[in-house]
Structures are given as structure tokens and as C-alpha cells.
Amino acid sequence: MNITLANNRKATLLLFDLFAITFIYFVPAISHVLNVPLYLLEPMRIILILAMVHTHKMNAYVLAATLPFFTFLVSGHPLLPKAIVISGELVLNVFLFFTLLRVFKAKFPAIVSSIILSKMVYYLLKFALIQTAVLEMGLISTPIWIQVAMVLVLSGYVALFLRKNATK
């Protein structure tokens, strides 16, 4: 019975990761077909949040560290220096969430704080890359109101889903 359960967990993780990579791979094509810039909704963070809630911590770390590089390899975007910064931001997001969850004992403040703090680090690093001419782009490409909305939606999802599972 335990072997079957372990195999089911591995299969579930494999399917989740396959879905995550496939989704990220097709975001540019889906955006083109729908004529909607889906990248503004932070698809990598969405996948990361889903991984943190529905898989386990190590899987979230692996996806956080690798998804930006995967998109760079298959599409050339984001540029490599930006992919490195995004990967660092997402890894920091996972670390902060699980750390702050122990501090706050509540899901919503932990996820909100982890997203906001990791975004602050992202913008500081991106600013440094722009100032040193490693990147030649604007500092903020996604409107702040969309970022705030995504923080609230994703944080609400985490808080509701984890509370629902805690009562089971």
C-alpha cells in the first residue's frame, strides 16, 4: 500500500511539473492567439503558488529555480540576466512563504508578505542591472495595479485553499 501511495505521489508531481512546463512553454502562443498579454498575469508565479499549495516545498523550489531558464531556452525570453533575477525572486518567494508561515501562523499575511518582499528584491536587482547597462529596459513593465491585483488574488487563493484543507 505504501509503495502504491508513493508511486501515486511521484506520478502526481510528474504530471504537475509537466503541466507547469507545458503551460509556460505555450504562454507566448496562447497570448498571440487570444491577443492578450498573459505574461502580465505572472504565469510563473501562478505556477509557483500552485506548486507551493498542491505539491511540496522541494518541488516549488525546483520549479522556481528552473522555469525562468526553461522559458529562456525555448523562447529567448526573458533575457538571461533577467531570467537569473526572476529565478532568484521566485526561490526567495518560496523561502519567505514557508519561513513567514511559521512566524505569522496565518496563510494570508505569509503569502502576501513573501510575494511583496520577493518583488522588492526583484526590482532592486533589476534596477542594479539597468544602472550597470546589463539590461536595457524599463524598470516596471507590468502595471502596478495588475501586480497588486495578482498579489491579492493569489494570496486569497492560498489562504482559502489552505484553510479549507486544514478543516478536513
Boundaries of every domain in the chain? 2-166
Q: How far is CA 57 from CA 12, 13, 48, 74, in A?
A: 14, 12, 10, 26
pLDDT over 70 at 130, yes or no: yes
> How is residue 61 written as a grid cell?
523550489
3 state SS for the chain = CHHHHHHHHHHHHHHHHHHHHHHHHHHHHHHHHHCCCHHHHCHHHHHHHHHHHHCCHHHHHHHHHHHHHHHHHHHCCCCHHHHHHHHHHHHHHHHHHHHHHHHHCCHHHHHHHHHHHHHHHHHHHHHHHHHCCCCCCCCCCCCHHHHHHHHHHHHHHHHHHHHHHHCC
pLDDT over 70 at 164, yes or no: no
- Chain segment 33-76, per-residue pLDDT in tens: 889 888 889 999 999 999 999 898 999 999 999 999 988 988 88
Least confident of 8-22, 76-90, 105-119: 8-22
| Mean pLDDT to the nearest integer, 150-167 | 84
pLDDT over 60 at 5, yes or no: no
The band of 85, judged by pLDDT with boundaries at 50, 70 and 90, is: very high
Mean pLDDT over all residues of the chain?
89
In whole angstroms, give the CA distance from residue 46 to residue 49. 5
> In this prediction, what percent of the chain has a pLDDT beyond 90?
55
Burial (CB count <10 Å: 0-12, 13-18, 19+), residue 111: buried
For residue 33, what pLDDT is reported?
Answer: 87
Residue tagged 500500500 (cell numbers): 1
> In terms of pLDDT, which residue wins out, 8 or 147?
147
Report how far Cα 158 is from the mean position of its chain's Cα atoms: 13
| Mean pLDDT to the nearest integer, 90-119 | 95
pTM equals: 0.87
- CB of 72 within 8 A of CB of 27? no
Packing angle between helix 80-104 and helix 107-131, nearest 10 degrees?
150
- Chain segment 8-38, per-residue pLDDT in tens: 778 888 898 888 888 888 887 888 888 988 8
